Structure 1
Amino acid sequence: MNEKAGLTSGLKKVLGLTSLFIITIGIVVSQTSVVSIVQGAGLGGGTFFMAIFIAFIIALCYISTYSELALMMPKAGSISTYTAVSVGHFMAIIASLSAYAAPALFGALAELLLLQNVLDSISPSSFTTVALAVVWTFTFLNIFGIDLFASVQSIISFTMLVTLIVIGIAGLGTFNNQGLPPHQIMHDLMHPDASVFTLVLAALWPFIAFEMVCDFIEEAKNPVRHIPKAMFTACIVLLFAYSLLAFVAMKLVPAEQLAQTDVPHLLLGKVIFGNVGKIVILILSITTTCGFISTGFATTPRLLYGMAHHKQLPPIFMRLHSKWRTPWIGILVLATLLTIAILLFKKSTDTLLMLVISGASCYLLAYIITHIDLIVLRKKYPNYPRSYKSPFFPLLQIVGILGMTYAFIHNSPSPELRSTVFINVALFIGLTAVFAFCWVKFKMKKGLFEAEPIEQAIDD
């Protein structure tokens, strides 16, 4: 197949509901998600369940918004497509790069360093190159085809979900209770205090990124039925899994220990399983990290692929491999950037965690933009065919915007860290804004807020 065919032929439609559900779980559940839940349990006690439920409602709001937008414009570009049609390419590029590509890089780096911390806790200095090995293993797995990726991802995500549930169920049967008694947990749940609002971001981070499965919409066999169902089902399943994990953590481990350690899940595993707990948590750590890295390599290059189709990035990013039909250039670029980041930041865990919080805050801004996209497009294209319509419009969008705004403003309990996060977010957005301005103005030769007709966006 020649190069031109590699640029113009589409992605392969091979993903059914089960594969999409498994991919969604793999996207969302990460080590940082597990740590956030366990540490949140230590910080909030029974009150943290209210924060989890608030985060769940906020997640349902953005899932509903993305379901409508994704099925209106079934392209791999996701937010870059929706925003280009609603408010123009300038905001589309900013939303895509500052709120997805940059946070994905730092999030992946956090996962790899956390895996390294767990391995060092079990066997110090024995696995010094594990991060690079994971990166390049999943680089080639993703280049070799979406069907191979889906098969490997199914095994990883299924093992991860089962391990998470096993930890929760085993914790219920453990009587070595050193944490809060169940009646105290129930009392805190029934009488929450103001601390619930400071815990929303800790609870929301484990519910971020369901929408990234929309980047596989061109490879889904039946996207109309399966894309929304995969996201909503995964969100409900994780609500129960996270709540169970938080409960056993509160019950079994003293709150101050959960809140102060960098590897609270390893501590929980030792309490439940004894020395065998190291192996259980190692399995969880490996599967969550590998699942997160693998889906990151699958989703982010497809976002870049969609942006290139809209001429928001150089056309090289929409080049597909001649045999496996994968966006291999984007995959290699991401792998190279992540390799450089590993070599630069492997000794800077504290700095990295601060950057991850900054990345999470950028995600929140992306969700706000997406809710605004839907409100604009409902008014701009009121009669456009929609195979899924977000119910109670615009209530869910308003709730989502307010919830994300609150979580963004209160992104950290520390005023100093909060200020640093705001600076980092401004830096992310500022750099991408400069690129977006130059690219739209001089390369695309369009107005900054010149919206793209929806028909053209779909046909690109």
Structure 2
Amino acid sequence: MSEHMGYATAADAASGEKEKSGFKRILGLGSLLAVAVGLVVSQGVMVLMLQGAGIAGLGFIIPLAIGYVLALTYVYSFSELSLMIPRAGSLSSYTEVAIGHFPAILAVFSGYVVVAMFALSAELLLVDFIIEKIYPGVFPPMSVGFGLLALFTVLNLLGIDLFAKLQSALAFIMVVVLLLLGLSAVFGAVEPHPAGIDLTASWNPLGGEVITLVALAIWGYVGAEFVCPLVEESRNPERNIPRSMILGVTIIFATIAIYCLGALFYIPADDLAGSALPHYDFAKAVFGDAGLTFLAVAAVTATCSTVNTSLAAIPRMLYGMAQNGQAFPQLKKLMPGTQTPWVAVLFVAAITGLPMIVMGDDPDAIGLLLIAAAIAWLLAYIITHIDVMILRKRYPDLPRPYKTPFYPLPQIIGIAGMIYAIFYASPAPELSGQIFGAAGVVLAIVSVIGIAWVKLVMKKPLFKPEPIEKVLKAE
């Protein structure tokens, strides 16, 4: 009975957030599912998953399945935290009451703001490369990437209503296109399977070492938690937040598995592993020259979906941090009428465009950007699992509309799995120095800024947790 009363209390508290934040509750299960799927299935994922399938053959299903299990662990942790502390700040709000302000700042900036710099930039560069390969000379260099960034910045400034409609359409088109490509390849519906490719001859060429590809496979699932910063704009969040993420990673698992299987029917594994644009080779092999237009739709849709989701979710994290005093107060400014955190949106757009200018049109930069982003993202997931465990111990009687099943097993598995994935993040030993160096430098800079902000601006201890009552009642 008391648990039911706690559930109602949390739901009532969440429903009152419109008055506090000014956000409108318009996002239902469909919109949230589109967010959970839409950020994850990007062009970067389309490339990395095919390269993984090329390395391990059919054996790639093993790391793919392990990655799915690890994804469920972070989904459980984010679901519990987001409904216990229903704030737009998401991870920063959870962490400040579990570990303190410095880890809160480090978690969000390393796991999301830095990732926006790395992964979104890589995504926009990738769409430029693929469009140039399909339609050579039609568009000026980098014009497609910067054009999409500008377009979705403006669209996100126009409000969450437009975002929800766009995201639902983009996610649906993207998943349908990938499934159509994968299923057409599996059944040889358009072009017959080429001779000489035997999937069963060497289904797992790496043997036991296939487990090392978990670090690559898990990249196919990161980002479903982007629904959590939208909790203040969600209808019935206690039901729809967990359900959207669980459904999202399950759809992603099925889609990627079919997509990779289809590619192995048409492209020799070594060619998949060594190609910088394996999705280009795949689409052309399945549909011929007509497949290039098909791929252009898939590539642009995936990039649009990723950029659209990021420009909606990350600014709301920054908005929540500004509300908590962990970032510049300008980031909590809302645009009259649309109630969009416009300064935060423009900030995220700016840091996304910066690496594109620095990197230019260097295809080799994409892999480094994506893997460095993955390391930072996995660090944020580890902090999330730690938050759950600390808050369970510190506030055992606090109402939790969603509780992690089999606690604390998912958190323990999640932490161990994420550490393992970080350790094996580099696909080649010779790249380890560059990848860990880039991630280390950025994390060091974020740490120095975070320490200075907490000590000099907030004038608070680095690791002293805030009382949870303060966060729940924050205006």
Which TM-score band (shorter chain)? over 0.9
Q: 1:449 to 1:257 in 2, by over 3 A?
A: same
1:13 to 25, 29, 33: 25
Equivalent residue letter for 1:139: T
Say whether 1:73 aligns with 2:85.
yes
Counterpart-to-counterpart distance in 2, 1:456 and 1:235: 33
Corresponding residue of 1:160: 174
1:97 corresponds to 2:109: yes
The separation in 2 between residues aligned to 1:299 and 1:33, in whole angstroms, is 19
Of 35, 42, 46, the residue aligned with 2:54 is 42
What does 1:8-157 align with in structure 2 at a 5 Å threshold?
Answer: 9-128=21-140, 129-157=143-171
1:208 aligns with 2:225: no
Compute the displacement of 1:388 (Å): 0.5
Indicate if the aligned counterparts of 1:179 and 1:253 stay in contact, CA closer than 8 A.
Answer: no
Whether the 8 Å contact between 2:311 and 2:348 is mirrored in structure 1 is: yes
What is residue 346 of structure 2 aligned with on the other side? Answer: 332
Residue equivalent to 1:193: 207
Write the distance in 2 (CA, Å) between the matches of 1:428 and 1:309.
25
Read off the aligned partner of 1:277 and give its amino acid letter. G
Q: Which residue in the other structure is 2:3 paired with?
A: none
Q: Find 2:336's aligned residue among 317, 322, 335.
A: 322
**Separation in structure 1 between the aligned mates of residue 19 and residue 280 of structure 2, nearest angstrom:** 46
* Aligned counterparts of 2:363 and 2:49: Cα–Cα separation in 1: 19
Deviations 1:336-368 (A, max 9, x none): 222333222223332343132111101111111
Match of 2:248 in 1: 234
How far did 1:334 drift?
A: 1.6
1:366 and 2:383 matched: no
Asked whether 1:349 is paired with 2:366, we answer no
Given the alignment of the two structures, is residue 181 of structure 1 paired with residue 198 of structure 2, yes or no?
A: yes
Moved more, 413-422 or 259-268: 413-422
Residues of 2 paired with 1:104 and 1:338: CA distance? Answer: 6
CA drift of 1:182 comes to: 4.0
The share of aligned pairs that are identical, in percent, is 39
- Read off the aligned partner of 1:396 and give its amino acid letter: P
**Shift in CA distance, 198/229, structure 1 to aligned 2, threshold 3 Å:** same
**Contact 1:164 1:241 (C-alpha < 8 Å) held by counterparts:** yes
Quote the offset at 1:125 in angstroms: 2.5
**Shift in CA distance, 426/7, structure 1 to aligned 2, threshold 3 Å:** farther
The answer to whether 1:264 aligns with 2:278 is yes
Q: State the distance in 1 between where 2:135 and 2:19 align.
A: 47
Map of 1:3 onto structure 2: none
What amino acid does structure 2 have at the position aligned with 1:455? E
Q: Partners in 1 of 2:43 and 2:354 — Cα distance?
A: 22
TM-score (normalizing by structure 1): 0.95
* TM-fit CA distance, 1:179: 6.6
How far, CA to CA, are the matches of 2:366 and 2:22 in structure 1?
Answer: 37
> Is 1:88–1:450's contact at 8 Å kept on the other side of the alignment?
yes
Structure 1 residues 377 and 88 mapped into 2: Cα distance closer, same or farther (>3 Å)? same
Show CA shifts across 1:268-327 (max 9, x none): 111111111101111110100010111111111011001001100011101110110011
d(CA) in 2 for partners of 1:366, 1:41: 27
Q: Which runs of 4+ in 1 moved over 6 A?
A: none
CA distance in structure 2 between the aligned counterparts of 1:179 and 1:77, rounded to whole angstroms: 53
CA distance in 2, matches of 1:155, 1:94: 34
- 1:67 is aligned with what amino acid? S
In structure 1, C-alpha distance between the alignment counterparts of 2:283 and 2:370, rounded to whole Å: 25
Q: Could you tell me whether the CA contact under 8 Å between 2:35 and 2:227 is conserved in 1?
A: yes
The SS at the match of 2:201 is: helix
**How far does the alpha carbon of each residue in 1:371-407 deviate from its partner, in whole angstroms, 9 at most, with x for none?**
1111111101111110000011111101001110001
**Gap runs ≥5 in structure 1:** 1-5
Cα distance change of structure 1 residues 143 and 7 upon mapping to structure 2, 3 Å threshold: farther
CA distance in 1 between partners of 2:468 and 2:250 (Å): 32
SS at match of 1:12: coil
Code of the aligned partner of 1:80: S
CA RMSD of aligned residues (A): 1.6
Given that residues 171 and 305 in structure 2 are in contact (C-alpha distance below 8 angstroms), is that contact kept between their aligned partners in structure 1? yes
CA distance in 1, matches of 2:196, 2:424: 27
Moved more, 30-39 or 345-354: 345-354
Counterpart CA distance in 2 for 1:385 and 1:264 is 48
Judged with a 3 Å threshold, the aligned counterparts in structure 2 of structure 1 residues 12 and 178 are, in CA distance, closer, same or farther, namely farther
Q: Does 1:433 align with 2:447?
A: yes
1:276 maps to which residue?
Answer: 290
Contact 1:47 1:196 in 2 (8 A): yes
CA-CA distance at 1:192 after TM superposition: 7.3
**Deviation larger for 359-368 or 168-177:** 168-177
How far apart in 1 are the matches of 2:185 and 2:166? 29
Counterpart AA for 2:100: G
* Contact map agreement 2:124 2:303 (CA 8 A) in 1: yes
For 1:218, the equivalent position in structure 2 comes to 232
Counterpart-to-counterpart distance in 2, 1:156 and 1:212: 16
* 8 Å contact kept, 2:56–2:206: no
User: Which residue identity lines up with residue 459 of structure 1 in the other structure?
Assistant: K
Q: How does 1:395-434 map to 2 (within 5 A)?
A: 395-434=409-448
Report if the CA contact (8 A) 1:410-1:418 is conserved. no
